[in-house]
Amino acid sequence: MTPISDTSPPVTSTTPTPTTTTSPKIPISLTGVSKTLLIPLIARAYDNSLPTPILADPYPAAVLSKLSFDIDSMPTTPFQNAGISLRTKHFDDWTSSFLRTNHDTTVLHLACGFDSRAQRVSWSEGTRWIDIDLPEVIELRKEDLPLSFPTGNDQEYSLLGIDVTGETWMRDLDIGDGPVLVIMEGLLSYLPEKEVRALLTRICETFPQGEIIFECVSSPVLNWLNRPESMNAVKNTGAVFKSAVDDPMTLENLHSGLKLVENVSLLLAPGTEKFPLLGRVRMYLSSWFQSGRDSARFLRFRFGQELLK
């Protein structure tokens, strides 16, 4: 089955105009995968302008107002904006659930970009939150997002500029024996399969226990996303999608303590009722087929000592 196509026109011209600011705007000189951070930012700002938003995050529009870049070079559609916002909302819910049921936790938010998840969710006692991205992204983030949080009860927030495919940075964190939540939302599709497997294995070998959450797409969708007519915003950054996951259960073979505990199809996720009407119809029809349901999925894995008992 072919992936869901989105023929609706781009909304860059109708994306809400950011609030005017008198401060000099921050130029964006990112390229490739780093520049794709602008796509969810635009999507979430658009979502927040709707009468019934999916995510309802006020930060993206404020962030966009401080940036200088050609927004017309990042065309998104209402359907794409809804999909990104729904994914973000689902991962917020998973994060909140993890923090409610665990204490003295560490949250590692990989490829954080300009995401304000740390402001959107409530922290538990003893939470340590680290937003992680490439050094050039973190420098931009420091200029454009607040760094102070109403933390207390031994809570701590920090930023880390690092290539997450490196082999030593996890060991260098020295975060103790508490549970760890690793958020990789839309990252893994941009990494080669070999690096995806190495990253997941390294997480399981470094930290004692926790959860890993990320989105994956199927091989047909991966091929479609890299076609000229698909996802112009990504194409215009120079980034390329590199890996797919057709059977999430096979990832359990990477480590004896890794277990898939939740597998949610984008087509069936709560919140799709807020998608544009034509998109909802296409998703409903696609959901009749296994290939459609498997086209894009949100995965939650658990790992570590507790699973082995």
In this prediction, residue 154 carries a pLDDT of: 78
CATH number for the domain including 242?
3.40.50.150
Whether residue 101 is contained in a domain is answered as yes
Burial 84-101 (b: 16+ CB within 10 A, else e): bbbbbbbbbebbbebbee
Q: How many CB atoms lie within 10 A of CB 205?
A: 13
Pair 147, 78: CB distance under 8 Å: no
Mean pLDDT of 287-292: 93
Residue 150: which pLDDT band, with cuts at 50, 70 and 90?
low
Higher pLDDT, 26 or 189: 189
Token pair 């949100």 in the structure block, residue: 298
**Average pLDDT score over the chain:** 89
Whether residue 84 is contained in a domain is answered as yes
Whether residue 241 is contained in a domain is answered as yes
Write out the two tokens for 260.
């898939």
- The C-alpha atoms of residue 287 and residue 114 are separated, in whole angstroms, by 32
In this prediction, residue 17 carries a pLDDT of: 44
φ and ψ at 282, to 5 degrees? -65, -40
In this prediction, residue 137 carries a pLDDT of: 95
Whether residue 112 is contained in a domain is answered as yes
Whether residue 256 is contained in a domain is answered as yes
Whether residue 127 is contained in a domain is answered as yes
pTM: 0.90
Domain total in the chain: 1
Give the structural domain span for 90.
78-308
Mean pLDDT of 206-213: 96
